[in-house]
Amino acid sequence: MDGPMVGILGILVMFAVLFIFRLPAAFTMMLVGFLGVAYMTSFKAALGMIGPDLWNIFSNYGLTVIPMFILVGEFVHYGGYNNSLYYATYRWFGHYRGGLAITTIMACAAFSAISGSNTATAATMSSVAIPEMKKYGYHPILNAGSVAAGATLGVLIPPSIVLVVYGLYTGQSIGKLFFGNVIPSVILTLLIAATVLCICFRHPQWGPKGPKSSWTERMKALPEIVDILLLFAIIMYALFTGVVTATEAAAASCALGLAICLVRRKLSWKGFVESITGTLRISCMVFMILAGATIFGRFLAVTRLPFEAASMISALALPHWMLFWLILACYIVGGCVMDALAFLLISLPIFYPLVTQLGYDPIWFGQVVCIVTTMGSIMPPIGICCYVVAAMAPGIPLRTVFRGGLYYMPAYIISIAILMASPYWTVLVLSNLVP
């Protein structure tokens, strides 16, 4: 059996193990990747090859941004800013039909901009928003769907861990990726909010109006939002001006986030310890996925499947845009069955060289891939955000959560279409300003 066929067989085996044995994606990639390398070379050669690869990955100084950005999100979470964000946005939007769902989406966007994690956002906002929407008579489909869709913004809005990993893997500037992501994330957030209005227009009883807040109540709710906006603005300005690197910005955000929580007396000792524990847990999960993807990527490289696939696709007598859409279709399917980060790391060795060969900008491609892969977070059969929401809301069945998430698919499709139609004005106009 030649190398590329072994690679294809390895991919099929990996998906079979994922579905049959329900093994986590990280361990599945490690197991299949190591056995594949051992089959193609030898057991001893596999050990000698993979060890240095893992060392080179985890000794990379750039990876320190991941736990630090996660840590600032945990500080904000255990400091209770999630409740403050929700309360403030509710005061401004809760009196509209579907306003509570829009409040949830805006609060998810604000919280995820700091946490950078879709699962953390899903878990946090489920416990905060779902009981409130249930109290005001919101339909379970709109209730759960808005939380699941809003939580996906954690992958898109800076500091996105997926964008950080993409930048480190491809050698692109993380600052450029963050600023290039501003307009796409705003577009998707607004489209998801508009979807709520469309759902409520068709099903008015699904999202009844809440009580209208006075202007005094609205203004009183703003100060704590200012804390979050100030934190986000300082870090983004520092990256934009080149005053600090991405790693330094991550460290500064931790210090600033902790200082804000302490000055406001929002973070207890217990909350601090839980922040550290949560950061360790999430960081270990991300690093295990990186390790698994590294081993599996080495296996694919040994089989030469990425190079053969790239050569075969580029040899097709098709326009560049059609080839690009074929690549995106692979990301959509992959995002449905695997964690977005895991599939991104598996697929980049195959598709990134091809995309650059076709002449597409790597910064722009990173934004498109982020939107496409995060669609999988609310799509069957994996849909990690849907599983988190269903776990946090026992009264809402998983199928109802998935039904609610599917209502937001047009928002993703339109966002991708806008990015495809105007790469410069949606991504590059801001990313090119970063030194």
Spatial CA neighbour of 29 closest among 20, 43, 39, 17: 17
42 φ/ψ angles, rounded to the nearest 5 degrees: -165, 165
pLDDT at 132: 79
pLDDT at 322: 85
pLDDT at 91: 82
Half-sphere exposure of 422 (CA within 13 A, CB side): 9
Spatial CA neighbour of 364 closest among 310, 320, 418: 418
The series of mean pLDDT values per 10 residues for the chain, 435 residues long, is 83 82 81 90 84 78 80 81 76 82 82 66 79 85 90 78 83 87 90 92 87 82 77 78 80 88 87 88 80 82 78 76 84 71 77 85 91 81 78 84 91 92 89 82
Number of domains in the chain: 1
pLDDT at 196: 92
Q: What's the pTM value of the predicted model, to 2 decimals?
A: 0.79
Domain, as residue range, for 55? 3-431
pLDDT at 267: 86
Contact present, 334 and 293 (Cβ < 8 Å): no
